Amino acid sequence: MTDQVRIALLNVSKRFGDDTAVDGLSLAIAPGELCVLVGTSGCGKSTTLRMINRLIEHSDGQIHIDGQPIREINEQALRRRIGYAIQSTGLFPHWTVARNIGLVPRLLKWPNERIQKRTRELMQLLGLKEAEFAGKYPHQLSGGQAQRVGVARALAADPDILLMDEPFGALDPITREALQNELIRLQARLKKTIVFVTHDMEEAMKLADRIVVMDGGKVVQQGSPQDLLMAPENAFVESLLGGRDRGLKQAGLIPVRDVMHPTGARRQTTAAAVSADDNLRGALSLMLLNRLSSLTVVDERDRTVGTLGVDDIMHRKNLLPAASAKPTNSSANQPASKPAPRSDDGDAPEAKAKVQGVSTDRAEKMSPHQGSEPHHEE
Ligand SMILES: Nc1ncnc2c1ncn2[C@@H]1O[C@H](COP(=O)(O)OP(=O)(O)OP(=O)(O)O)[C@@H](O)[C@H]1O
Ligand SMILES: [Mg+2]
C-alpha cells in the first residue's frame, strides 16, 4: 500500500445470510479524491459505504485506511476520521441544529467551548445563519437546510474522509444544484477524500473525479466522467450514462473557454452570447434556442472574449467517437447554459446562418428526481 491510497478495499464481500450484497469489490481511493458510486438500486452502494465506517462489518476481504486495516482502528479514531451524511439526514428530531452539529465532537468529549466554536464555524461554512438556525429543531427546517445541517454534522470533527449516501437525493433540482455547487466549493478548499453515492448521473458527472459503476455487488467500470462517456464498457454502463444523450453529457464536461476562438483570432459577433465559463452543452442549447450556428463568448463582466461556432464543437477532438445506436432510457440533462441571450458590447449584433435540420425543442431539461428508500440511523 502506498501513501497515495487513503481508502483501499481489497476483494471485499458482504453477505446477508445467503445473499451477497457486495461481491469481491476492490477499490483504491486517493487522498483528496471525490469518488462517486453509481448503479441500480440494490447493487451494494450503501453497503459499501457502511462497511468503510464499520456501521456493518465486511464478511470477507480487507478494508484499509492509510494502510491500516479498519478492524484495527479503534471506534473513536474511526469516528473522528470519517464523516457520514445520508439522504434522510439522520438528525435527532428532539435536538436543536447546534446540538445535532456538535454530535461527534461531543462523543469525542471535546470541551463545550470548543464544540460551540466549531459549530459556529460550520454553520457559517454552510451558509446557515447562527442567530436564525442554531436553536431550531429539524422539523422547522426545509429539506435543503436540513441537508446542510447533515453535511455540517458530518464535517464537525474535521474528518479527512467523508462518506455521503445520496445526501442531496430528496431535494428539488434547484436546491440540489445549489448544494452540489457548495460541495464543489467546500471540496476545493477542504480537500477531503469523499465517497459519494448517487442515483443521479448528472450529479455524478458534475462532482466526480472518478465514477465507479457497480452492478450486482461488483465494479463494472471505473474512470473519470470523460473516460466513461468516451468508452462505456458495455450496454449497461452506456444506458446508465444516458444512452444517446451521452454526446450532450460529454459536451457538458467541456468548457466553452477551451474551444472558443479568442477575439481577434476570428472576428465575429452574434445576437446571442455564451459565458466562457459555460460548457459546450449550454452553448449548443443557446445555438438551438436562437437558431444560430455561432455565438459570441463573454467573460464574467459581459465583455466579448471570443466566438464559438458549431463547427468548432463538431471538430473538437475528444468529443465522442462514433456513437453506437443503443436504446436510451434517460432524458436527464443538466441546466448548464446561461439562458439570457444578449448582444455583446460595442459591435452591432448580427444574426448568423440558421442551424439547418435540427429541432428547436427546449434543450434544457431538469434531471428527474430518482430517490431511494430513506435510511434511518441514529
Ligand atoms: N441489513 C441488511 N440485511 C439484509 N440485507 C441487506 C441489508 N442491507 C442491505 N441488504 C441487501 O443488500 C443489497 C445491497 O443493498 P444496498 O443498500 O447496499 O444497495 P444500494 O446500492 O445502496 O441500493 P439503493 O440505490 O436502493 O440505495 C440489497 O439486496 C439489500 O436488500
Ligand atoms: Mg443505498
Between CA 271 and CA 304 the distance in angstroms is 12
Question: What global pTM score does this model have?
Answer: 0.76
> Which ligand has its closest atom nearest to the C-alpha of 214?
1
In tens digits, the chain (378 residues) has pLDDT values of 445 899 999 999 999 999 999 999 999 999 999 999 999 999 999 999 999 999 999 999 999 999 999 999 988 888 889 999 888 778 999 999 999 999 999 988 999 999 999 999 889 888 899 999 999 999 999 888 898 899 899 989 889 999 999 988 877 888 788 888 888 988 998 899 999 999 888 899 999 999 999 999 999 999 999 899 889 999 999 988 888 888 888 888 889 999 998 886 555 566 789 999 999 999 999 999 999 999 999 998 888 899 999 988 888 765 554 443 333 333 333 333 333 333 333 333 322 222 222 222 222 222 222 223 333 333
* Ligand 1 centroid to residue 96 C-alpha, Å: 31
For atom 26 of ligand 1, the residue with the nearest CA is 41
Residue boundaries of the structural domains of the chain: 7-241, 255-364
Q: Which helix (H) or strand (E) holds 222?
A: strand 218-223
Whether the domain at 7-241 and the domain at 255-364 fall into the same CATH topology: no
Q: Which atom of ligand 1 is nearest to the CA of 56?
A: 1
Residues near ligand 1 (Cβ within 6 A) = 16, 19, 21, 39, 41-47, 372-373
CA 186 / ligand 1 centre spacing (Å):
29
Determine the Cα–Cα distance for residues 218 and 42; give it in Å rounded to an integer.
Answer: 11
Class of domain 255-364: alpha beta
What distance in angstroms lies between residue 199's CA and the mean position of ligand 2's atoms? Answer: 9
User: Which residue, chain included where needed, has cell 442531496?
Assistant: 168
- Nearest ligand atom owner, CA of 50: 1
> Measured from the CA of 17, which atom of ligand 1 is nearest?
4
> Could you say which architecture CATH assigns to the domain 7-241?
3-Layer(aba) Sandwich (3.40)
Measure the CA–CA gap between 229 and 131, rounded to whole angstroms.
46
